[in-house]
Amino acid sequence: MKTHNVRRCVGLILCSCVLMLSATAQNFDVKTHTLKNGMKVLVQEDHTIPNVALYIFYRIGSRNERPGTTGISHFFEHMMFNGAKKYGPGEFDRTMEAAGGSNNAYTSRDVTVYQDWFPRSALDLIFDLEADRIENLGFDPKIIASERGVVASERRSSVDASNFGILFEQLYATAFSAHPYQWPVVGWMVDIDNWTMDDLKHHFEMGYSPSNATMVVVGDITAEEIFQRAEKTLEPIPSHAPPPKITTAEPAQVGERRVTVSKFAQLPIVMMAWHVPEAASPDFYALNLLETILLDGQSSRLYQRVVDKDQLAIGIGGGFGATLDPTLFTITAQPKAGIEPQKVENAVYEELERARKSAVSDAELEKARNIVLANFYRQMSTINGRANTLGTYEVFFGDYHKLFTAVDNYNKVTKEDLQRVAQKYFADKNRTVATLVPEKEEAPKQ
């Protein structure tokens, strides 16, 4: 099991898109239309396969929550599949699957995203289903009780049953003391058990205004037919005020923070994190290239040093993603049996110090640019990848056109910029370290 590529996809995908635009601009024709209620619709036609990927991004996530209702954005994401007015409980999935479609959704600290994948023959149905749940979602207490069990099981899987999950949660809870990024997207178990019907309704009213959403449609359709359907089914839905602005900013960290998780395990884990800026920051591009040099591939600096040369860990991975507020750059390694996590930490710190002290080579910078470009092509090779990327750019960079200006931003990044961001962000005082310490809890013998 290699961990050295986990968790970096978001950041990588984003920065990759940026570079490639010049190369593919000619067949990357995005049409947009803003409905009268404020919902923006982006469409890109692609007739390679007779299918469509439709994404709706709502600008609401766990950053919009408060203590006591943590995880409610994610829980609400589940409730969006549990019945509305025209399509009752179970009908959303049943109807969509019978028409050849499938769906999913994800919630992050910043957004809640709904995804539909379907043959073009199901287009009318999909708009009908989406409009129904945005306008007339049902709140059945029995279904809510059952869905609490589902989400609790999801939490047990992603946290209790994953040592990486447990530790990652503690890392964020320790690194952030003021900003809402401190609590887990899935929510604390006690909150999953306790939020109320009123909390749910309040969340819907806060986050699910059409003006707070962006729709992206890519595939075997025309822009006109999408705009027509959006005007007919979604435009009549009234808008209301968006979620309140998040005013809390995380104060600058003034010294290293450390946290330990002790539990039954065979191998330890160590996670290190540094506060880094949001996607809209001009440092985003330099940090992304630095991330690639440090962590991408078996030739990366940290893999070479920690896994290959010093043989301290079985894998190393990390990076940072595109976020609305300042986030964490994380590095995760699983030490080999008998290796003290501190030894892994020290090797990582030495490599970061090297990036702070001297500039990377020209070849490394060129390699990072090549990797970013190749990854961009991979992301663009499916209608699904394009829908997700366009929406992510629109939401996190404020405008999908930023794809185009970002090309310049990327090309402007110099070796000196990489050294500057390494010095600025990879400082000891800005660091939080979480360590999982194995305990040999004896299982009862028969």
Output 115 or 212, the one with its CB closest to other proteins: 115
Please give the Cα distance from 393 to 370 (Å, whole number).
Answer: 21
Q: Is 269:436 a contact under the CB 8 Å cutoff?
A: yes
Contact 229, 127 (CB under 8 A): yes
101 in contact with other proteins (CB under 8 A):
yes
Number of residues that bind other proteins (CB under 8 A): 90
> Which residues from 297-336 bind other proteins, rule CB under 8 A?
297-300, 304, 307-308, 311, 314, 334, 336
Q: How far is the CB of 48 from other proteins (least distance, A)?
A: 6
Contacts with other proteins in 42-71 (CB under 8 A)?
48-51
Q: Which of residues 211-230 bind other proteins (CB under 8 A)?
A: none
For position 156 contacting other proteins by CB under 8 A, the verdict is: yes
The nearest distance, CB 23 to other proteins, in angstroms, is 8
Does 141 interact with other proteins (rule: CB under 8 A)? no
Site for other proteins in 350-379 (CB under 8 A): 363, 366-367, 370-375, 377-378
Identify which range of 161-169, 202-210, 241-249, 344-352 contacts other proteins by CB under 8 A. 161-169
- CA distances, 266 to each of 170, 269, 337, 437 (Å): 19, 10, 8, 9
Which CB, 399 or 439, lies closer to other proteins? 439
Query: Binding pattern to other proteins, positions 79-98, x when CB under 8 A?
Result: --x--------x--xx--xx
3-state secondary structure 190-244: HHHHHCCHHHHHHHHHHHCCHHHEEEEEEECCCHHHHHHHHHHHCCCCCCCCCCC
Determine, following the binding rule CB under 8 A, whether residue 145 of this chain makes contact with other proteins: yes
Q: What CA–CA distance (Å, rounded) separates 143 from 163? A: 31
Contact 419, 358 (CB under 8 A): yes
Angle between helices 72-79 and 141-155 (to 10 degrees): 120
Query: Which lies closer to other proteins via its Cβ, residue 140 or residue 231?
Result: 140
Q: Closer CB to other proteins, residue 157 or residue 405?
A: 157
- What the block records as the tokens of 13 is 């995908």
